[in-house]
Amino acid sequence: MEDTKPPTIGERIAVHLAQYVRHREDFVCPPGMAQSGIAESLGITRAHTAIELKRAIESGRVVVRVAHVAGEPSRRKVYHLTPKGEWIARTVRDRALRRTLELVSPSGRPEVVPGVRAFEVLRAHGVGEGRAVLLMLTRTRIDLRNPSLRHPAKAAPRRMSEEERARVWFDRTFWQPIAWQFEVVQGPPRAPPVPAAA
């Protein structure tokens, strides 16, 4: 019997980071090891990614360090798996490889294939290793003609109301240019009160 349990976000992060095990000690790391790269690859928000990464760190599946990220101007936190996290990623990958899937070839011909063959075909069509495993676990039919196969659809940006846009414009135009002056006179926010001279 096939295991059709969908992977949790924690498992998806482990599978994603398993692609970067060889970059664990690199001086310059790929963008996929940073929080924004993980969020983009999995199609979830950065806030959700931060929550899940914190859980993974606390449970000992992920370790964080600061490193240069390719294409970024400053150093960032990058994440990599511990042996416990690697074991979870391997377990999830094995679960995906045991499945049987229907692949629709670029010519439109459907074919039922075992998981190992489906994984090889997806990799040959330019789908990343982590993404291929996740597709195999979340779908029973994969259409290779689908252009969004290689990258998940990005979350639609939240639309601001007219009032919110006006507030942002006001803050940017009038408040931010003079806010530093109030801080100089009043002191930084949450500063302890200065005692009066005796």
pLDDT computed for residue 60 by the predictor: 93
Residue range of the domain that includes 120: 9-149
pLDDT computed for residue 40 by the predictor: 87
Does residue 109 fall inside a structural domain?
Answer: yes
Among 89-98, 114-123, 147-156, the least confident range: 147-156
Q: How far apart are CA 4 and CA 140, in angstroms?
A: 9
Does residue 194 fall inside a structural domain?
Answer: no
Does residue 68 fall inside a structural domain?
Answer: yes
CA distances from 147 to 31, 96, 99, 125, 153 (A): 22, 22, 23, 11, 10
Check whether 16 has a pLDDT greater than 80: yes
Phi then psi for residue 115, to 5 deg, are -55, -40
pTM of the complete model beyond 0.75: no
Does residue 155 fall inside a structural domain?
Answer: no
Q: How far apart are CA 62 and CA 53, in angstroms?
A: 7
- The CATH number of whichever domain residue 73 belongs to comes to 1.10.10.10
Does residue 196 fall inside a structural domain?
Answer: no
Q: How far apart are CA 63 and CA 98, in angstroms?
A: 29
Does residue 181 fall inside a structural domain?
Answer: no
Does residue 84 fall inside a structural domain?
Answer: yes
Q: 99-132, pLDDT tens digit by residue?
A: 999 988 888 889 999 989 988 888 888 888 888 8
Q: 41-69, pLDDT tens digit by residue?
A: 888 889 999 999 999 999 999 999 999 98
Check whether 140 has a pLDDT greater than 70: yes
Does residue 158 fall inside a structural domain?
Answer: no
Query: Which residues does 28 contact at the CB level (< 8 Å), separation at least 6?
Result: 67, 68, 69, 70
**Total domain count, the chain:** 1
Q: How far apart are CA 109 and CA 34, in angstroms?
A: 38
